[in-house]
Amino acid sequence: MSKNPLKDEKEILRELAGGSESAFARVFNHFSPRVYSTSLRFLGSEESAQEVVQDVFMDIWLRREKLTGVLNLEAYLQGMVRKQVYDVFRMKSAFEELQQELLRRDYAENSTERLLRDREYQVVLTRTLESLPDLQREIFRLAKEDGLSHQDIAHRMNLSPLAVKAHMKRSLRFIRMRLEPFLSAEPLLAILVFLGIR
């Protein structure tokens, strides 16, 4: 992935495992341009490629204590990039399939019944979002309702982009867990795909 190996890689990984932010910065500065360019080549979207960079290096930070066992950080990162790119394609495919399926189906059911059902799903979703911790709920709202990037949210809330990403992941995991019994419902399924939970 990188044309030049990271100097003193084993020592840097040892420091990173101990929580060194300067070691993390060295890893990020060395590898992030290549992670970005590789992701951009596959995804064709600057925004999606930047998201992959954020995901990969957030995972590096969260898994830092286990990195001392990594023999080749470049190969390790290549595997992480492949997984993240695959997840983006899988999410896009799931959303497109859902759109096509909803278009094919004949909604012959009574419109009043459908309206009541849709309102019920919305109440469940709203209550679930309201039960998030305050910080996670605000980050989720800024991302999904206001459309802010993780970088913009981090700046607005005086947090690191990694912290914002971690809170978003926890929120999505919590929402999916709470809504699991309703996942077969088509309107709610569409919402979950939109939110990035499916």
Query: How far apart are the C-alpha atoms of 12 and 70, rounded to whole Å?
Result: 12
16 three-state secondary structure:
helix
When pLDDT is averaged across residues 49-63 and rounded to a whole number, the result is 87
Condensed to tens digits (0 to 9), the pLDDT of residues 140-187 reads 889 888 888 888 998 899 988 888 888 888 888 787 777 766 655 555
Query: How far apart are the C-alpha atoms of 6 and 88, rounded to whole Å?
Result: 28
**pLDDT confidence of 106, banded at 50, 70, 90?**
very low
CATH number of 106-195: 1.10.10.10
- Tell me, yes or no, if the two domains 9-88 and 106-195 fold the same way: no
The answer to whether 81 and 5 are in contact (CB under 8 A) is no
Q: Kindly indicate whether the domain formed by 9-88 is annotated with CATH number 1.20.120.1810.
A: no
For position 129, what pLDDT does the model report?
Answer: 84
Domain range list for the chain: 9-88, 106-195
The answer to whether 84 and 20 are in contact (CB under 8 A) is no
Q: What is the value of pTM for the model shown?
A: 0.55
Q: Average pLDDT, whole number, for the chain?
A: 79
